[in-house]
Structure 1
């Protein structure tokens, strides 16, 4: 049962400490004294071992609201004998099928929603055998129009959600329960590393926490020691490092390369749309009023995650020669104006990758073939910026070390708060949100 609970965490956003506590329950006496001591660093801060026993931070990614409300209204207006199942209309394909089934009832073509040109007039309704009033027809037409609009929103929001999650924990959600539970050491590493990858960004100029800490490394070393039973394919879904890819067959490496390339293509299209819809300051990548920075940063994370893993696989398969013809770059995240000012106040010049980003063609346009960028161009841009092209990950897999474990801070819009109760209050009153705050202690009138 505990291993099943551990599996559920890869679909959630649990604190690494709480996942570590489950791992302690799973491994128990199988841990050596040294391993138990390392794991205990996180377990000690698990919610079950703290005074507060809860966190103010959501323990799952934001849920996309489906079209059940709109479908139920359509069922009511069209007087259909249908009982929607729970969450049935969270799936865009199910919603599209419903629209395709209902639209012919008023001789409407899905996708044709113009009030002037696509509605039937009195003669056309009579010819079609629609014995309903103009008012009733307009109400049904409008209902389907709104439902199609909701479908388009649902598709977009699900895409945004998928990119956000993939940008954090790669293909963790593709791991089946059977694969996850096939090897206990693999399961423990996947669950903990996924939780570390899901950490929220902090309001800081000193860099974000790196996911591969000393506890992740200890769990990974256990996988290396038990290599006969270790499920390297499952691990590769979240941690496609060279030492993992070496354990995969050529067929598995090729399949994984296909997955990451497909994700890159999907993200490239969406990045291009966002770039066209927003007025971004490319030179500084500082947020301007009206910029959808959350969506951009989540999608840029997905691009960079996919690109890093794509690069790992290119080298694992001995296909580095591809970079000589096509070497698309990273996507820069947007930075808040106050963080940019903080950087300046400390004498920092900001992200060292920014000059390279500004020199090279937009990466998603390179992948789509609209423009060209090759290895020589990237090398030249990195040299001009004083950046090592290999160590920085522009032309090769990025190496990483092992960082010390650091407890997960309680955050309110990226700002560290001392305890979850205070965090909850500050959230309710919109502190650090960039919106008008509600006073904590309003004056009595």
Structure 2
């Protein structure tokens, strides 16, 4: 029977799937879990975990990181709900968490609207308000025009707030999925059933959640030597491993080969639905900003944050979708429907950095520009066959298989573990205390905090 301490550690590891904990700190928790469960890891795994955990916050002198350990959460409607409870008799005081619950907010808007005979969605200030005669007929004649308008305006603002909250919550889910795939959706009971499975998923997710570094080269890959050591433990006990849970984050051919067709289809359905949702976000950002497809360089006024979050989510979802379709033997479907990859927008200074280094645009950008937009393909408005993608890749010197355009990417080799850097707007800084000060001063932010920044330069 697992000890109480072991359960606490598993719950902390499970909570980390929705956070941005440093991989070093997750390695430390894995060591704690093994100790609490009296699991003696093999020497290679013990050495790998120690290599990472010796840099955990618990074991370094300052025990501090300047970087937030949560994904940015949208501001809830707590303030609006408090105001509604003061103005409407039917709205009681609600707990703090109600402001983050869209269903609770909508219920309050509808319930409060009944008090002033306003239907949900009636937001036109000129057409939908009741005049004095209509208020008398509705039985709320005791409300003055000023008091009635105050309540009407509040409910109208609350509907707008609800729409923004839903959008921002969805963006947060998209960001987490783009980074860590479906790890955050794993129920505790599934995640915590096997300690080795939990250890691998938690560590690989922490690596995937790491922030991007400002560079003109490739970003650090999530699958490193510590993740590889943890995966070897799963291979050593395949009958105990929950391969379905592992496939949520690591859909290699080896992992998917352990799944039943029903499990593969269940995952495919989830990724199908997610691909369509992300395609809608991409289309909306594309139509609002009008990016230049052949360069994908950010211009003033572009909503690059939404686009890049959605583009990363599309890439993650597409990679899982391709892997699942291939494992299910759906090559004929992929021959007919082969939606392309979506590049992230590049900052103009990074593009210039590439050019100064003798490089240029990544060839994938030219392939993307030659193909129909993914949202058009998913809606069936335009065809994007495998042969069409192969022809575009051939024109621009891209290997369609190795590049992941027409097949799942080859299984990645484990990279060497490196410490998580302290970042200030993507730039690595050696000391976390200095990083906090530099961030407050606006260094590297590009927002014109020149006087404060010059003190650090």
What range describes the TM-score normalised by the shorter chain of this pair?
over 0.9
**Cα distance between partner residues in 2 of 1:387 and 1:377:** 13
Please state if 1:41 is matched with 2:48: no
The offset of 1:438, in angstroms, is 5.2
Secondary structure of the 1:416 match is: strand
Q: Is this contact kept in 2: 1:268–1:368, CA < 8 A?
A: no
Q: Deviations over 1:251-271 (max 9, x none)?
A: 000000000001001111111
Following TM superposition, where does structure 1 have runs of at least 4 consecutive aligned residues deviating by more than 6 angstroms?
Answer: none
Please state if 1:3 is matched with 2:10: yes
Please state if 1:271 is matched with 2:282: yes
Please state if 1:88 is matched with 2:111: no
What is the CA RMSD across the aligned residues, in angstroms? 1.5
Which one of 399, 418, 427 corresponds to residue 415 of structure 1?
A: 427
1:171-182 aligned within 5 A: 171-182=182-193
Q: Is this contact kept in 1: 2:75–2:165, CA < 8 A?
A: yes
Please state if 1:300 is matched with 2:311: yes
The offset of 1:170, in angstroms, is 0.9
**Cα distance between partner residues in 2 of 1:397 and 1:441:** 45
The offset of 1:440, in angstroms, is 4.0
**Cα distance between partner residues in 1 of 2:15 and 2:137:** 56
Please state if 1:79 is matched with 2:89: yes
| Runs of at least 5 residues in structure 1 that lack an aligned partner in the other structure | none
Please state if 1:230 is matched with 2:241: yes
**Cα distance between partner residues in 2 of 1:382 and 1:438:** 45
Secondary structure of the 1:206 match is: coil
Which one of 155, 160, 173 corresponds to residue 149 of structure 1?
A: 160
Please state if 1:102 is matched with 2:112: yes
Secondary structure of the 2:306 match is: helix
**Cα distance between partner residues in 1 of 2:89 and 2:81:** 12
Which one of 130, 134, 146 corresponds to residue 135 of structure 1?
A: 146
**Cα distance between partner residues in 1 of 2:188 and 2:450:** 45
Please state if 1:219 is matched with 2:230: yes
Which one of 370, 382, 386 corresponds to residue 371 of structure 1?
A: 382
Q: Deviations over 1:248-305 (max 9, x none)?
A: 1110000000000010011111111111111322221111001111121111111111
Q: Is this contact kept in 2: 1:281–1:288, CA < 8 A?
A: no
**Cα distance between partner residues in 1 of 2:108 and 2:122:** 16
The offset of 1:40, in angstroms, is 1.9
The offset of 1:370, in angstroms, is 2.3
Alpha-carbon distance change, 328 to 83 in structure 1, aligned in 2, over 3 angstroms: same
Of 301-310 and 90-99, the range deviating more from structure 2: 90-99
| Runs of at least 5 residues in structure 2 that lack an aligned partner in the other structure | 1-7
Q: Deviations over 1:101-146 (max 9, x none)?
A: 1112111121121111111222222222221211111111101001
Instruction: Name the counterpart of 2:122.
Output: 112
The offset of 1:352, in angstroms, is 2.3
Q: Is this contact kept in 1: 2:443–2:453, CA < 8 A?
A: no
Which one of 258, 262, 266 corresponds to residue 255 of structure 1?
A: 266
Secondary structure of the 2:446 match is: coil
Q: Is this contact kept in 1: 2:90–2:111, CA < 8 A?
A: no
The offset of 1:80, in angstroms, is 3.7
Q: TM-score, normalised by structure 1?
A: 0.97
Which one of 359, 371, 388 corresponds to residue 348 of structure 1?
A: 359
Which one of 13, 24, 31 corresponds to residue 20 of structure 2?
A: 13
**Cα distance between partner residues in 2 of 1:67 and 1:433:** 29
Instruction: Name the counterpart of 1:386.
Output: 397
The offset of 1:60, in angstroms, is 1.0
